[in-house]
């Protein structure tokens, strides 16, 4: 029997609750498709600061590097907000992304038919929305040196090399080949030199993918187009900070940030995590929506473990559960037949997985 080692980092806030549900669903799917998942649990973020005094302990990073995939919940919370930047929970996440060379962040945004009313946009605008944000994750302003905070002045550096751009552009074109064969590269080339370089390199990469159409869009326009006509997009390729912002915007098109998964990959080991944060305000109440986390587990099966059938089974189960009217509180207003707790909906999804 195939056996995979999963490094589980539950994190802070709602992280532990939603991670438990993802594991429940993974156990059900691995049973069904005949493979074994061996979980090992490690700390990162606030939980690690409390125990080790640092947001990414060495043992967590070592375990992640040795694993087949990292399944990660969420980190952060008010308790740790006033620590110096390098000791904040977020620094742990950035460091693990960089250390695993997880430079490609895939953030799909698609509409569940049953939830079109949950979006703040009009249902007619949502017809045919199915887009994928391919966000560069280990470069740009997040990591550029020098970075300085002085008393009366502060600065950051946006830096990209052609190699960094080329490898993420390839990921975007490969993804487009399996989708609707359109890439929209989002930048600020009317102002930034880095964006000019992105355009040059992406144009070069596009030559290897003659079937894929490439367009360029300024980021301010893209932010506007995403709410004006989101169905025009297939793959959005962009740098780190723009991708951070646009993927949150794209998530709301779908009705709840609690629904969207993500994969951070490309390097040694991938990290699979929901795009939402740790939501400390609702932690521990059993009302968090675990679907983004469960769908992230499906992405892990597909991209890290090549268990495509198992990934599909989870995605189908989630759709069927929503279709049958099971809802967590965040989306209860939209067609709920039964309002479920975090753990109830996790159990229902894992039962559906068995039946699919
Ligand atoms: C995300 C988050 C992170 C980011 C934070 C927590 C550092 O917003 O994964 O989108 O900015 O990348
Ligand atoms: Mg973000």
Domains along the sequence of the chain with CATH: 1-107+256-356 (3.40.718.10), 120-253 (3.40.718.10)
> From the CA of 74, which ligand is nearest?
1
Tell me the CA–centroid distance for residue 325 and ligand 1, in Å.
31
234 an active-site residue? no
Secondary structure of residue 139 in the 3-state scheme: coil
Nearest CA owner, ligand 1 atom 10: 244
**244 alpha carbon – ligand 1 mean position (Å):** 6
Cα separation, 250 vs 255, in Å, equals 9
- Cα–Cα distances in Å, from 124 out to 128, 129, 224, 236? 9, 10, 17, 22
Mutation to probe ligand 1, out of 75, 93, 257 (largest number of atoms < 8 A from CB): 93
Hey, what's the torsion of the CAs at 176, 179, 183, 186, to 10 degrees? -100
Strands 148-149 and 154-155: antiparallel
Strands 104-110 and 130-136, bridge-based pairing: antiparallel
Give CA–CA dist 168/265, Å, rounded: 10
Distance 16 CA to ligand 1 centre (A): 18
- CB within 6 Å of ligand 1 — which residues? 90, 93-94, 244, 275
pLDDT score for 105: 97
Containing H/E element for 355?
A: helix 342-355
- Give the contacts of 122 (CB within 8 A, at least 6 positions apart): none
Query: Which of 12, 24, 103, 142 is flagged as catalytic?
Result: 142
Residues 257, 292 contacting (CB under 8 angstroms): yes
Q: Is 352 one of the annotated active-site residues of the chain?
A: no
Choose the catalytic residue: 188, 316, 319, 324: 188
Q: DSSP E strands: which ranges in 192-320?
A: 213-218, 235-238, 261-265, 271-274
Look at residues 240, 55, 44 and name the one whose alpha carbon lies nearest to residue 142: 240
Instruction: Please state whether the peptide bond connecting residue 146 to the residue before it is cis, i.e. omega within 30 degrees of 0.
Output: yes
Give me the pLDDT at residue 141, please.
Answer: 98
Q: Look at residue 27 and give its three-state secondary structure.
A: helix
What sign does the dihedral 140-146-149-154 (CA atoms) show? Answer: negative
Nearest protein Cα to ligand 1, atom 7: 90
Sequential pLDDT tens for the chain (356 residues) = 999 999 999 999 999 999 999 999 999 999 999 999 999 999 999 999 999 999 999 999 999 999 999 999 999 999 999 999 999 999 999 999 999 999 999 999 988 888 888 888 999 999 889 999 999 999 999 999 999 999 999 999 999 999 999 999 999 999 999 999 999 999 999 999 999 999 999 999 999 999 999 999 999 999 999 999 999 999 999 999 999 999 989 988 888 788 999 999 999 899 999 999 999 999 999 999 999 999 999 999 999 999 999 999 999 999 999 999 999 999 999 999 999 999 999 999 999 999 98
Q: How far is the CA of 240 from the centre of ligand 2 (A)?
A: 10
Q: What is the pLDDT of residue 347?
A: 98
DSSP string for residues in 239-265: -HHHHHHHHHHHHHHTS-GGG-EEEEE
């Amino acid at each position: 029997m195939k056996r995979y080692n999963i490094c589980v980092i539950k994190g802070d806030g709602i992280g532990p609750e939603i991670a438990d549900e993802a594991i429940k669903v993974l156990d059900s799917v691995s049973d069904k498709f005949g493979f074994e998942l061996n979980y090992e649990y490690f700390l990162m973020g606030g939980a690690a600061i409390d125990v080790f005094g640092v947001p990414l302990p060495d043992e967590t990073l070592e375990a992640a590097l040795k694993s087949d995939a990292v399944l990660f919940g969420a980190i952060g919370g008010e308790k740790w907000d006033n620590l110096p930047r390098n000791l904040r929970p977020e620094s742990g996440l950035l460091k693990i992304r960089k250390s695993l060379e997880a430079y490609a962040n895939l953030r799909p945004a698609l509409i569940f038919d049953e939830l079109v009313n949950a979006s703040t946009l009009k249902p007619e605008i949502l017809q045919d929305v199915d887009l994928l944000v391919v966000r560069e994750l280990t470069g740009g302003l997040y990591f550029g040196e020098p970075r300085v905070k002085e008393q009366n002045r502060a600065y950051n550096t946006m830096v990209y090399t052609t190699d960094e751009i080329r490898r993420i552009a390839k990921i975007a074109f490969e993804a487009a080949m399996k989708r609707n064969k359109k890439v929209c590269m989002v930048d600020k080339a009317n102002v930034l030199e880095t964006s000019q370089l992105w355009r040059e390199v992406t144009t070069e990469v596009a030559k290897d993918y003659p079937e894929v159409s490439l367009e360029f869009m300024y980021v301010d326009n893209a932010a506007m187009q995403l709410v004006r006509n989101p169905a025009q997009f297939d793959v959005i390729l962009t740098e780190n900070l723009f991708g951070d912002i646009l993927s949150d915007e794209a998530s709301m098109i779908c009705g709840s940030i609690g629904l969207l998964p993500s994969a951070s990959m490309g390097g040694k080991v991938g990290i699979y995590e929901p795009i939402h944060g740790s939501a400390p305000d609702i932690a521990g109440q059993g009302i968090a929506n675990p679907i983004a986390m469960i769908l992230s587990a499906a992405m892990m099966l597909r991209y890290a473990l090549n268990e495509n059938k198992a990934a599909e089974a989870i995605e189908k189960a989630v759709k069927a559960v929503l279709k049958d009217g099971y809802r967590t509180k965040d989306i209860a207003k939209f067609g709920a037949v039964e309002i479920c707790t975090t753990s109830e909906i996790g159990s229902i999804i894992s039962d559906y997985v068995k039946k699919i």
